[in-house]
């Protein structure tokens, strides 16, 4: 039996006031060694949620004034461990409510109901430059939330309690269909119900590949969404300017469950360049609205492909600055490119509502300057009324769905040279996470307004 003094059972209000020998280690062992004493009750509500839904993490049945650490742990698809944690002290009734109480330290501080998700980072000892992205959207992201005794050294012993929570990109009933019709590679997500639904063409950036998670999440909000694989370096001839994207857009538009005059485009980074050029130049398709995150309007030569132009940019990157952490900053190189007006897409030709979202600490592309430029050009063309802008301080390039961890710099493979670099995206975790949450809500609201109850319908009534 442990030799603990009577004072232990009074549970002092902070571990600093605890008598020697009665620190969190001892108390933690008290809980687990004495099978007469049951552990605290930890709950996460809801236990299954979409990735953009909030949860409430509650710890009950602790001793009053007891220091604990609430921790989240996730083992990613590529087998890396990610964690976040906050230090708390229970109230007089033995409760810690992550939604209501302040975290005194950890990977986040203050009152942060979702801090256990957005402040996640690779566990100490992981290799640098990791990024967390779900590839298989048919299964949930599994996160273990646990509560540990004490603050310092909380990892040294087993948790007092833990629960598993599921975070889903796909709502129940969503159909996921691989598309390779008409040479277009992508994945289509269709919401449950009779429809018809508005549609969205969803594109990511220069990293290439097929990322489905945002399209799946958009489908969970009622949009038929096509996640498009377009940066096919090996198939340049098929990715002729605009044609590939127009075909993709029409696949959505012509789908029996899609309202053909309610199809929009959603792009991030290079994807936003595609959105802007389609809206400005396509004579075949007319998007109902476009959302551009970390916007890009660099468009030096017509008739070339997105891939070849992107390669053109990457070939200049030897000029890019590398900081003392060995992180590559592309922003200034990009700024050089876009100062020449002949290298810019004629955004004044855009005729649909446009939402630009960017981070003011974007170190990857001069998105602040781009947004300013787009605003100026659209104003000059009398199209200012179509433009909405969201710009977030201390926010970087990778503005992802809410509660996704923030990546200030991650490894990136440059296709042409096969070189692996550590790319600086920018942003500080807390403001960047706030921006993700705020922008997503506003993006959904923008899409709902234009695609679900847009002016085109009102005009007909």
Partner 1 sequence: MDRKQYCVKLSVQPSRGLMDEKFIVLVQNALPGSQLTIRALHQCEDGHSWEAFGHYTADTTGTINVSEDPSIGGTYSGVEQMGLLWSFRPIPGSKSGLRMRKKNIQTPMEVTISVYQGHQTEGFADLVPLSGVAVERWYMAPGVRRIPVTEGGLTAALFLPSGPGPFPGLLDLWGGGGQLVEYRAALLASHGFASMAIDYLTAKITMETGKMVDNQYFETAYRVLQQHPQVCGSKIAMIGLSFGTSITLKMAVYSEVIKLSAAVCISGSHVQPVDGSVEEILRFFQKNGEKTRFSEKNEVIWRDLLLPIPTDPSLKVNVGRLQCPLLLVVGEDDQNWPSQESALDIKEMMARAGNSHLLTVLSYPNAGHLIEPPYTPHARSSTLKTVEIEEKVMCLWGGQTVEHSRAQEDAWKKMVVFLKENLYGGRNPTSFSHL
Beta carbon of residue 222, minimum distance to partner 1 (angstroms, whole number): 6
Q: How far apart are CA 376 and CA 123, in angstroms?
A: 44
Instruction: Please confirm, yes or no, whether 397 is among the known catalytic residues.
Output: yes
161-168/141-149 β-pairing: antiparallel
Provide CB contacts within 8 A for 375, sequence distance 6+: 356, 384, 387, 389
| Six-digit token string for 353 | 């509502």
- Could you say which residues in the range 188-207 bind partner 1, by CB under 8 A? 191-194, 196-198
Distances, alpha carbon 69 to alpha carbons 26, 109, 259, 341, in Å? 15, 12, 50, 54
- Could you say which residues in the range 129-168 bind partner 1, by CB under 8 A? 142, 144, 146, 158-166, 168
197-203/41-45 β-pairing: unpaired
**Number of helical (H) and strand (E) elements in the chain, helices listed first:** 10, 21
Q: How far apart are CA 10 and CA 182, in angstroms?
A: 72
Beta carbon of residue 282, minimum distance to partner 1 (angstroms, whole number): 23
Instruction: Please confirm, yes or no, whether 361 is among the known catalytic residues.
Output: no
236 lines the binding site for partner 1 (CB under 8 A): no
- Could you say which residues in the range 257-296 bind partner 1, by CB under 8 A? 259, 262
328 lines the binding site for partner 1 (CB under 8 A): no
Q: Any idea which residue has 């920018």 for tokens?
A: 426
Q: How far apart are CA 198 and CA 215, in angstroms?
A: 13
73 lines the binding site for partner 1 (CB under 8 A): no
Binding segment for partner 1 (CB under 8 A), chosen from 110-118, 170-178, 239-247, 396-404, is 170-178
125 lines the binding site for partner 1 (CB under 8 A): no
From the list 436, 440, 429, 437, the residue with the least C-alpha distance to 119 is: 429
Instruction: Please confirm, yes or no, whether 74 is among the known catalytic residues.
Output: no
402 lines the binding site for partner 1 (CB under 8 A): no
Give how many residues touch partner 1 by CB under 8 A: 57
Q: Based on CB atoms, which residue is closest to partner 1, 28 or 431?
A: 28
- Could you say which residues in the range 37-66 bind partner 1, by CB under 8 A? 37-39, 41-43, 45-50, 53, 56, 58, 60-61, 64
Catalytic residue among 52, 202, 362, 373: 362
Dihedral through CA 379, CA 384, CA 389, CA 393, nearest 10? Answer: 30
Q: How far apart are CA 29 and CA 22, in angstroms?
A: 10
Catalytic residue among 87, 148, 255, 397: 397
The DSSP-derived string for 15-39 is GGGSPTT-SHHHHHHHHHH-TTS--
104 lines the binding site for partner 1 (CB under 8 A): no
Binding segment for partner 1 (CB under 8 A), chosen from 204-212, 353-361, 396-404, 446-454, is 446-454
Q: For Cα atoms 314, 316, 320, give the angle at the middle one, nearest 5 degrees.
A: 95
Binding segment for partner 1 (CB under 8 A), chosen from 200-208, 244-252, 287-295, 449-457, is 449-457
> Which residues of this protein are in contact with partner 1, per CB under 8 A?
32, 35-39, 41-43, 45-50, 53, 56, 58, 60-61, 64, 93-95, 142, 144, 146, 158-166, 168, 171-173, 191-194, 196-198, 220, 222, 259, 262, 448, 452-453, 457, 460-461
Question: Hey, which residues are catalytic here?
Answer: 269, 362, 397
């Amino acid at each position: 039996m442990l030799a603990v003094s009577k004072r232990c059972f009074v549970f002092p209000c902070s571990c600093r006031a605890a008598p020697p020998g009665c620190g969190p280690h001892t108390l933690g062992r008290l809980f687990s060694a004495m099978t007469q004493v049951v552990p605290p009750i930890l709950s996460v509500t809801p236990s299954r949620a979409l990735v953009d839904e909030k949860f409430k993490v509650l710890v009950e049945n602790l001793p009053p004034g007891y220091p604990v650490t609430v921790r989240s742990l996730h083992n990613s698809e590529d087998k890396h461990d990610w964690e976040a944690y906050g230090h708390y002290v229970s109230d007089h009734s033995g409760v810690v409510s992550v939604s209501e109480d302040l975290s005194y330290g950890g990977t986040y501080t203050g009152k942060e109901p979702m801090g256990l998700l957005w402040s996640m980072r690779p566990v100490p000892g992981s290799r640098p430059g990791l990024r967390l992205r779900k590839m298989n959207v048919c299964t949930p992201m599994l996160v273990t939330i646990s509560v540990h005794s004490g603050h310092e050294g909380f990892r040294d012993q087993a948790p007092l309690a833990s629960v598993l929570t599921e975070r889903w990109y796909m709502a129940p009933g969503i159909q996921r269909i691989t598309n390779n019709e008409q040479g277009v590679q992508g994945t289509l997500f269709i919401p449950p119900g009779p429809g018809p639904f508005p549609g969205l063409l969803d594109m990511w950036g220069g990293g290439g590949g097929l990322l489905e998670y945002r399209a799946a999440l958009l489908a969970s909000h009622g949009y038929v969404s096509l996640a498009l694989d377009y940066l096919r370096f090996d198939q340049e001839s098929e990715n002729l300017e605009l044609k590939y994207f127009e075909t993709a857009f029409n696949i959505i538009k012509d789908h029996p469950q899609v309202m053909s005059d309610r199809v929009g485009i959603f792009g991030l980074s290079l994807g936003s360049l595609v959105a802007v050029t389609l809206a400005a130049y396509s004579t075949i398709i007319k998007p109902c609205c476009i959302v551009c995150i970390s916007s890009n309007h660099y468009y030096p030569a017509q008739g070339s492909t997105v891939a070849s132009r992107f390669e053109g940019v990457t070939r200049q990157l030897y000029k890019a600055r590398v900081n003392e952490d060995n992180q590559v900053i592309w922003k200034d190189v990009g700024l050089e490119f876009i100062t020449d007006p002949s290298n810019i897409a004629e955004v004044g030709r855009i005729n649909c509502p446009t939402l630009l979202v960017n981070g003011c600490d974007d170190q990857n592309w001069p998105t602040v300057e781009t947004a300013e430029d787009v605003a100026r050009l659209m104003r000059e063309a009398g199209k200012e009324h179509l433009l909405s802008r969201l710009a977030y301080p201390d926010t970087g390039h990778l503005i992802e769905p809410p509660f996704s961890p923030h990546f200030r710099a991650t490894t990136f493979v440059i296709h042409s040279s096969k070189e692996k670099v550590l790319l600086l995206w920018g942003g500080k975790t807390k403001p960047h996470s706030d921006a993700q949450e705020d922008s997503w809500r506003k993006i959904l609201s923008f899409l709902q307004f234009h695609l679900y109850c847009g002016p085109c319908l009102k005009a007909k009534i």
